[in-house]
Structure 1
Amino acid sequence: MDLLKPSMANSSPMSPLGFLERAATVYGDCTSIIYNETTHTWNQTNRRCLQLASALKTIIGIQRGDVISVLSPNIPAMYELHFAVPMSGAILNTISTRLDARTVSILLRHSESKLIFADVHSFSVIHEAFSLFPPEIQPPVLIFIDDDGEDTENSTSTNDFDFNLEFTYESLLKKGDPDFEWERPHSEWDPMVLNYTSGTTSSPKGVVHSHRGIFLASRWGETPCAFVSLKPGKSQPSQKDIMEFCRVKMPHFMVPKTVVFEESLPKTATGKIQKFVLREKAKAMGSARLVSRF
């Protein structure tokens, strides 16, 4: 019976990392990213992610289960790190660029981050965050993201701070092996991403997402349907208007795929929206993308 247990021959842990591998095989010559003057194909993106994952393990010495943080806007490096970090067996911790130095310092200490990638506009925050570390705690290794697409004319120079930068993002990546055998999860429940709550009511709390959880979220989407009730006397927006508003104000994965307008939303006697009623309505619509309606 031991031969019937899960193995590489009959079982594969659910993980979104296989998406990149397949995309490089099936759509290798198709464009994967366009950013200012930079254009990469899926094959190039896969090779770069493998190189970075290799360098993280062989050059930096990252081990399975280590936490790697990133403080950067949505630039190509951030995109690649979402694949490369878990490909090295590490756990990705992305930090919002809107946070102050005190909060960043708390997150880095609590997560026990071994390494942090930061773009040029975040260096002043990182410098202050590191200065808040207790003397007995070593800050994580810092690697500068040298983004050619950034407008660095008014940005802070790394020379303004006493950082000892051995590598930049690109110089580290170039030292990696593009044929690296990436670290596959032992189980689909292995941690892949570490996020933190906003900390509005208390200190930020860590939320760990597994390979399985991220895979299912990417397949299903986070916000398939949004119900909207307009205030009296307001003009009628379109479904596209609502989506565009959400794209500006919210993370893109939270933008609804379908918008349904209702004259009124179901509420309790105390005025709390009955989400379970809306959830059942959304289920009854099915998986097809619906046009907006009353």
Structure 2
Amino acid sequence: MDTGVSPFARGLEKNAANFAALSPLSFLARAADVFPEVTAIIHGSQRTDYRTFYRRSRQLASALAGLGVGKDDTVSVMLSNVPPMLEAHYGVPMARAVLHSMNTRLDAAIIAFQLDHANAKVLITDREYASVVKEALSIASVNPIVIDYSDPEFPQEGERLGSLDYENFIQTGDPEFNWSLPDDEWDAITLNYTSGTTGNPKGVVYHHRGAYLLAQANVITAAMGKHPVYLWTLPMFHCNGWCFPWSLSIVAGTHVCLRWVRPDTMWDLIADEGVTHLCGAPIIMSTLLNAAPDQKRELDREVEFFTAAAPPPESVLAAMKTAGFNVTHLYGLTEVYGPAVVNDWKREWDALSIEEQAQKKARQGVRYVALEDLTVLDPETLDPVPSDGETLGEVMFRGNVVMKGYLKNPEATDKAFRGGWFHSGDLGVRHPDGYIQLKDRSKDIIISGGENISSIEVEEVLYKHSDVQAAAVVARPDEKWGETPCAFVELKPGADVLETDLISFCKNHLAGFKAPKTVVFCELPKTSTGKIQKFALREQAKAL
């Protein structure tokens, strides 16, 4: 009798022997089993092997369970790049809870909003941030159990806010805690809030499956062999450190913690600890390159540096190469677990001129192996734009490393997923070879006299000027043209250049209407991850 069931399905159901939910938690368990004595974490004078890392993560999970923390409870953390942050990436989801890591530079009001919106049950906080966290707790409606972390390597004087000390709390847990994989790989693993530059931030929810796949894709993209050494120049609170807290366990790599981004410390750790990989915004490159001569170190190997945000200027790429770093350009958003696009370099491009190579490196690139689809579409019709490198459209994503959605915000979720694509809000073009290139955020495009001007295009020209260290271009209201480009410029030390000089320089490299009508010299406002805060500059431009 034909039951209508395929022979490839009949009697071939999923069971405990042939199916397990995908979760990055399994990576640490394997590393501890196969490489128990390999150094997992370096923090100052501390050295922690994988056996101990796994045991402490299980202790944290056990101790949290002892507080009544369970499935879908939120554990918030206010920590810098220190060992407890790594332990939280495993221990919190081992307790079936959701990890909510907060930006350490947030103000009290936003911290309070996040704690309330996430309904935080537990808060693990570093004493360095006691003052702002104390204020936030006084504002928040929730009353989480507070656990204070005192860094033994870099003692902080901030007051204790709770009755529990992190190290003592950990010791109450069972190092053999019998954790299990999630019931469903679609279960939430972490919660990350967007920057909230317009209104309250949105809570982006990641699932175990996506974290597992992006972590593996990082290893492939970064060509990480066995036991790489990774320096934490990227904040772990930012998209869960682009999922690298989980990636390193796949290859039993070493996490080199970095509490503060300081040039001398970075150079010393890179040279002395044998660092092979690091990530960060362009500001990290500037910090390394602008270090005092007596702080820089000679490197006996090429170090892989992965950067996001605006493409580095040609001069910076050349300087990084000379200093011993190979720079790879990534692109992504909080909603896609951090980086999901890479400028995959092709061997034939090595034969190009330095200028032509820089043009190739300026492109964001192609999809990660874990991303199913990446394209540029007309944001209204969702039709593909021509692959001509010129026609502007919205960059869109689709696949397993796209967020579950925005916490408690179905309207924003539906809007972001309209038409079966994640709408990034980034405007870009698609080149004939399939590589995409960003031209602007939809909110950053400048419409002057009916003509669209890409702020990124103008910034790229400004960065070519020998006296410019950093630049950002935004729209300034104009009675005649509606809007005109306004450039905010940070000059290199000792530079002596006038507003008229930079405007003339831009006119020599751009169509006249695209050149800035106004140039303001100042220190650019940046986020904790090094991104220039254009929303603040737009307000300044309006006030001019």
Gaps of 5+ in 1: 283-294
SS in 2 for 1:114: strand
> 2:17: which partner in 1?
9
Q: Name the amino acid aligned to 2:358.
A: F
Q: Percent identity?
A: 33
> 1:200: which partner in 2?
197
Please tell me whether residue 157 in structure 1 is matched to residue 254 in structure 2: no
> 2:186: which partner in 1?
189
Alpha-carbon distance change, 279 to 157 in structure 1, aligned in 2, over 3 angstroms? farther
Shift of 1:3: 6.4
Q: Is the 8 A contact 1:239 1:258 kept in 2?
A: no
SS in 1 for 2:84: helix
Alpha-carbon distance change, 128 to 32 in structure 1, aligned in 2, over 3 angstroms? same
> 1:75: which partner in 2?
82
Pick 1 or 2: higher relative contact order, CA cutoff 8 A, min separation 6: 1
Equivalent position to 1:51, from 30, 46, 59: 59
Shift of 1:8: 2.0
Equivalent position to 2:108, from 101, 126, 129: 101
Q: How does 1:217-228 map to 2 (within 5 A)?
A: 217-221=214-218, 228=311
> 1:146: which partner in 2?
150
Alpha-carbon distance change, 218 to 110 in structure 1, aligned in 2, over 3 angstroms? same
Partners of 1:2 and 1:178 in 2: CA distance: 42
Partners of 1:74 and 1:2 in 2: CA distance: 50
Aligned CA RMSD, in angstroms, stands at 3.4
Shift of 1:176: 0.7
> 1:286: which partner in 2?
none
Partners of 1:236 and 1:97 in 2: CA distance: 29
Equivalent position to 2:358, from 239, 255, 261: 261
Q: Name the amino acid aligned to 1:39.
A: R
Alignment deviations for residues 110-140 of structure 1 (CA, whole Å, 9 cap, x no partner): 000100100011111111001112xxx3421
Alpha-carbon distance change, 229 to 69 in structure 1, aligned in 2, over 3 angstroms? closer
Q: Name the amino acid aligned to 1:147.
A: D
Please tell me whether residue 41 in structure 1 is matched to residue 195 in structure 2: no
Q: Is the 8 A contact 1:267 1:273 kept in 2?
A: no
Please tell me whether residue 24 in structure 1 is matched to residue 32 in structure 2: yes
Q: Name the amino acid aligned to 1:209.
A: Y
Partners of 1:172 and 1:184 in 2: CA distance: 24
SS in 2 for 1:6: coil
> 1:115: which partner in 2?
122
Alignment deviations for residues 195-242 of structure 1 (CA, whole Å, 9 cap, x no partner): 1110112210011000001111111139878794857xx576256478
Partners of 2:429 and 2:171 in 1: CA distance: 49
Q: Which has the higher strand share?
A: 2
Shift of 1:183: 3.3
Shift of 1:94: 0.2
Q: Which has the higher helix share?
A: 1
Q: Is the 8 A contact 1:52 1:173 kept in 2?
A: yes
Shift of 1:149: 1.3
Partners of 1:218 and 1:192 in 2: CA distance: 13
Gaps of 5+ in 2: 1-8, 223-305, 346-356, 364-388, 394-425, 437-544
TM score, norm. by length of structure 1: 0.78
Partners of 2:31 and 2:312 in 1: CA distance: 40
Partners of 2:153 and 2:35 in 1: CA distance: 25
> 2:174: which partner in 1?
177
